């Protein structure tokens, strides 16, 4: 995992910026998750029921908070990999996982870009968000691929 973290240039500065990203988006995550799951229901109403949406939205918010604030340790990596395992178990095609992450990342980026920060700081924070999203997706998708190989 350390090689992946190094490859993505996630250093102490990036970890500090990730916490700043969370501070900017935290108050918007409930709305973003609600809209995200409403979009899923619009595309496939049978996919997720209302009770499941509430549970998943809460889990999503906890996940993003943890990803952007917690130490990048084995416990976090295990939780990130478990996302891929759970998605595989319910039969979620990786293309939908990737597309969903794209939609959420766009909303998060929009809130960063709408902040009163300098343009340079906004660019830096969006770049940091991209690195953490890439880390998360890499670990989750490796669960998919290891299952396909097995």
Using CA atoms, how far residue 57 sits from 29, 44, 77, 147, in Å, is 9, 17, 20, 26
Per-residue model confidence (pLDDT) at position 145 = 61
- 51 pLDDT exceeds 90? no
Q: Which tens digits make up the pLDDT trace of 7-30?
A: 999 999 999 999 999 999 999 999
Mean of pLDDT values over 50-56: 78
Helix extents (H) in the chain:
2-7, 12-25, 29-43, 50-69, 74-89, 94-113, 119-149
For the beta carbon of residue 110, count every other beta carbon within 10 angstroms. Answer: 14
pTM: 0.88
Per-residue model confidence (pLDDT) at position 150 = 44
The CATH fold assigned to 2-149 is Globin-like (1.10.490)
Domain boundaries, the chain: 2-149
């Amino acid at each position: 995992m350390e090689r992946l973290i190094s490859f993505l240039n996630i250093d102490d500065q990036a970890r500090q910026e990730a916490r700043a990203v969370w501070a900017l988006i935290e108050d918007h995550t409930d709305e973003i998750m609600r809209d995200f799951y409403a979009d899923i229901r619009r595309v496939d109403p049978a996919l997720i029921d209302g009770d499941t949406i509430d549970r998943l939205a809460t889990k999503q918010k906890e996940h993003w908070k943890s990803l952007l604030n917690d130490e990048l340790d084995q416990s976090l990596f295990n939780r990130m990999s478990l996302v891929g395992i759970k998605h595989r178990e319910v039969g979620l095609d990786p293309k939908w996982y990737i597309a969903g992450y794209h939609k959420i990342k766009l909303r998060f980026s929009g809130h960063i870009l709408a902040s009163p920060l300098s343009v340079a700081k906004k660019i830096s924070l969006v770049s940091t968000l991209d690195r953490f999203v890439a880390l998360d997706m890499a670990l989750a998708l490796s669960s998919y691929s290891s299952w396909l190989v097995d």
